[in-house]
Structure 1
Amino acid sequence: MTVEFSNASYFNNPTSLDSWWEIQGEWVEEPNDRRGGCSGVQRIHKDGKLLYAKRQTGHIHRSLRYPLGRPTVLREQEALLGARKAGVTVPEIVYCAAEQSAEGWRALLVTKALAGFQPIDEWYTENDREQYGETLHQQLLVEVALTLARLHTARWQHGCIYIKHIFVRINTEGSAPIPEVALLDLEKCRRRLTSKQAALHDMLQLRRHSPWDQDDWQSLISHYQQAMGRDFKSIYNATRR
């Protein structure tokens, strides 16, 4: 049994799972054993392009729909496609495939690198907030709020929204710098029945793992609630733990 997705327009000659599997690179997330199998991420190059390949063997999740288990990269593929459809900037899928044999599942997800983006916590550590000033920083908080609102309005819950999963790029091509925001690591992302369920889980989790003080948090949440078209008192009043 093989499940395959390929962005045929990205390469002149789309290849098979075996061909992609043979391409090796530098480990950026060392293989680790969990979920009954092994998963890791490599940085690879193909046709002069920088890509990231998530390799998995026997690494599955179970649900009511898939009681026997299913590779987590297939869930991540669905989330990436759903988030992009909702207007959220996420890594572009180049290739995704999962194959089940007598030995178990083997799965691979290849995505295009987000050129120029960096984790937002690194952006703060490098003192870019001071470099660009408070006006741009407030614009950045608005972009974070709008990005998360787009995801949640479509009922997608990130599921593991740590600050390291929010990436930022400052576009300096125009007359004034403009912050852009992207989300990464959607492996645990799933569709919820309501946008409220997605919102409450992610935003309370983000608050516990964010660098923002109360003023910054309330600014972000004010823009978020405006974009969502509703108030979330528990989120607005959340304090750092």
Structure 2
Amino acid sequence: MTAKPVSVLATDSLDTWWQLQGEWVEAPNVRRGGQSGVQRIWKGETLLYAKRQTGHIHRSLLHPFGRPTVLRERDALLGARKAGVTVPEIIYCAAERNTQGWRALLVTKALDGFQPIDDWYAGNCREQYGEALHQQLLQQVAHSLARLHKARWQHGCIYIKHIFVRITGEGQTLTPEVALLDLEKCRRRLTSKQAALHDMLQLRRHSPWDQADWQSLIGHYQLAMGRNFKTIYNATRG
């Protein structure tokens, strides 16, 4: 069977990009009928992350015979950026199927200056920058998630490690910025409420924030969404 490219968002062939090798940051894991892993690679002076997949597919009503999960992630990254959410920039994405099955590659640009928010807390940055900036950070987290959910995108696997933070500016003009990563399980829902309930309740179970922080974050979130979520609010009181 002749190889059939599904999506190409940059120049050069899939073979050319596939030959670029680097350090594994997520060793290939075996699941979904194939393998998937992430390498850190360089193209010139630009740091990139390449998700490599062979036979790693998901099935849906639109794709009953399956397609590589990087294509779902590509769609989610494009949708999130359109909604105003900071996510990694796609440099290249392509997939092809031959007699051996699917091969797919998603290459994104490293988020310059960002770090996982759990590392930010572990480095005592909350104490370093002060509580006023920390409240701004919670607001930015809330706004990023609200933008995603208002566009009916559900992250699907929102753990604290998937939220990244960067502090810009200096002196009295320090500003927190937030980015979201790992959108492989992200999908559109019929309503923003469905996306909101799934992600916010999941994040509540998998984050280090105490009750006061959560109530602050949910307050900002509900304002940004333009509606109250009783189920989510009550979860902050447990």
How many residue pairs match? The answer is 235
Correspondence 1:119 to 2:122? no
Query: Residues of 2 paired with 1:83 and 1:168: CA distance?
Result: 17
Task: Report matched runs for 1:83-94 at 5 Å.
Answer: 83-94=80-91
Report the TM-score, using the length of structure 1 for normalisation.
Answer: 0.95
| Residue of structure 2 in register with 1:210 after alignment | 207
Report what 1:10 is aligned to: none
Give the equivalent residue in structure 1 for 2:5. Answer: 2
Question: Does residue 182 of structure 1 match 2:185?
Answer: no
Answering whether residue 197 of structure 2 is matched by residue 200 of structure 1, we say: yes
Q: Is the 8 A contact 2:76 2:183 kept in 1?
A: yes
Quote how far apart the aligned CAs of 1:172 are.
2.2
What is the one-letter code of the residue matched to 2:77? L
Please say if 1:79 is aligned against 2:76: yes
How much is the aligned-residue C-alpha RMSD, in angstroms? Answer: 1.2
Whether the aligned pair in 2 keeps the contact of 1:208 and 1:240 (CA below 8 Å) is no
Whether 2:226 is the aligned partner of 1:229: answer yes
Aligned to 2:207, the other structure's residue is in SS state: coil
2:129 pairs, out of 129, 132, 144, with 132
How far apart are the structure 1 equivalents of 2:92 and 2:154? 23
CA contact (8 A) 1:156 1:192 kept: yes
- Distance, in Å, in 1 between the alignment partners of 2:7 and 2:149 is 27
Q: Is 1:23 equivalent to 2:26 in the alignment? A: no
- Distance of 1:212 and 1:88 partners within structure 2: 22
Alignment gaps of 5+ in structure 1: 8-13
| Distance in 1 between residues matched to 2:15 and 2:230, nearest whole Å | 51
- Gapped runs of 5+ residues in structure 2? none
The alignment partner of 1:217 has SS state of helix
For residue 62 of structure 1, the aligned residue among 53, 56, 59 is 59
* Alpha-carbon contact 2:215-2:236 (below 8 Å) kept: no
Return closer, same or farther for 1:173/1:130 CA change in 2, 3 Å cut-off.
closer
**Residue 37 of structure 2 is aligned to residue 43 of structure 1:** no
Cα distance, 1:240 vs. partner?
Answer: 8.5
**Counterparts of 2:138 and 2:23 in 1: how far apart (Å)?**
33
Q: Deviations over 1:49-71 (max 9, x none)?
A: 00000000000000111110010
d(CA) in 1 for partners of 2:171, 2:72: 37
Q: Distance in 1 between matches of 2:44 and 2:119?
A: 29
What are the Cα deviations for residues 66-109 of structure 1, in whole angstroms up to 9, with x where unaligned?
11001000000000000000000000000000000010000000
The residue type equivalent to 1:77 in the other structure is: R
Residue 187 and residue 240 in structure 1: after superposition, are their counterparts in 2 closer, same or farther (change >3 A)?
farther
Matched, 1:219 2:222: no
SS of structure 2 residue aligned to 1:5: coil
Distance (whole Å) between structure 2 residues aligned to residue 192 and residue 219 of structure 1: 26
Amino acid at match of 1:2: P
Q: Does 1:169 align with 2:172?
A: no
Cα deviation, residue 120, structure 1:
0.4
Task: Give the TM-score normalised by structure 2.
Answer: 0.97
The amino acid across from 2:154 in the alignment is: Q
Runs of 4+, deviation exceeding 6 Å: none
Deviation at 1:174, TM superposition (A): 7.2
Deviations 1:122-150 (A, max 9, x none): 10011000000000000000000000000
CA shift at 1:47, angstroms? 1.8
How far off is 1:4 after superposition?
Answer: 2.1
Identity between Structure 1 and Structure 2 (%): 78
